[in-house]
Structure 1
Amino acid sequence: MKCCLGLFLLLCCGVLHLGSGLSCYKCSDYTGRCSNVQDCTYEDSCISLSERDGKTIRQCIRYTDCDNSRLSQMFPSISSFNYRCCSSNLCNSGSTVTTATSVLALAGSLLGVWWCWV
């Protein structure tokens, strides 16, 4: 029973990210590779903003600023861009590795809890 309680608490902490704020990649480059990590506030989300010429900006941004008109005001020198805002740790990497890792961790935790109850 203690095993089940421990796994349940681990699962809750992993899903809810208790005790920590959001972390996002922070860089501005043409390569798509980024290793700098920035700690954000609870009001922030991560953004990955891609310019037409191939440059990508990754950073923390207020969740309320994640709309086309607000971003146009914040980045006036960029005439054409695509963007994606997200709210999980390091989700602005540009790859699906972070998402896949999170899904696998969640599935493993659920399997562990189910295994204890069987």
Structure 2
Amino acid sequence: MITMGSQGFILLVLLLILAVLCHSGHSLTCYSCVAPVSGNCTKTSVCSSNLDSCLYIEAEPKSYYYQCWKLADCSFEHISASFGLQKLQYRCCQQDLCNRSFGTTVSGKMALLVTPLLAAAWNLCL
């Protein structure tokens, strides 16, 4: 039989609390302008549990769409058919408010610097 000292028990309780907090059902928040807009969207919404990503679309002629989206449906074919668009650029992402327009995203070098930090933080929550 293995016994646990008081320090081990406290550590176990803290890890359990951390696991509950990391998986407490936090919903994704995305910019949400379903009708096409001519520029940046400032309205936000909390996504329902079946919508697990944020979607940004830039379409011809210059119109932009921002909303919650299902990552499994993040393909040119599905998005084009859903919106009735032929010429578009799109991006699906899974962080809060990550569906900013392409012009306001973080530079590639900054993303390379921040990505390992975000991955480490995510692993702590798993």
TM-score range, shorter chain: 0.5 to 0.7
2: CA distance, partners of 1:61 / 1:46: 6
Select which of 43, 46, 50 maps to 1:39: 46
TM-score by length of 2: 0.60
Aligned identity (percent) is 33
RMSD across aligned positions (CA): 3.3
SS of the aligned residue for 1:38 comes to: strand
- Structure 1 segments, 4+ long, off by >3 Å, are 16-19
Select which of 7, 28, 38 maps to 1:22: 28
1: CA distance, partners of 2:23 / 2:56: 21
- Indicate yes or no: 2:67 matched with 1:59: yes
Give unmatched runs, 5+ long, in structure 1: 111-118
Structure number with greater Rg is 2
Task: List per-residue Cα deviations over 1:15-48 (Å, max 9, x = no partner).
Answer: x5744200100113112x2111111123321000
Query: Pairwise mapping of residues 1-118 of structure 1 onto structure 2 (< 5 A)?
Result: 16=22, 18-27=24-33, 28-31=36-39, 33-44=40-51, 45-76=53-84, 78-94=85-101, 95-96=104-105, 103=114
Give unmatched runs, 5+ long, in structure 2: 1-13, 122-126
Aligned length: 97
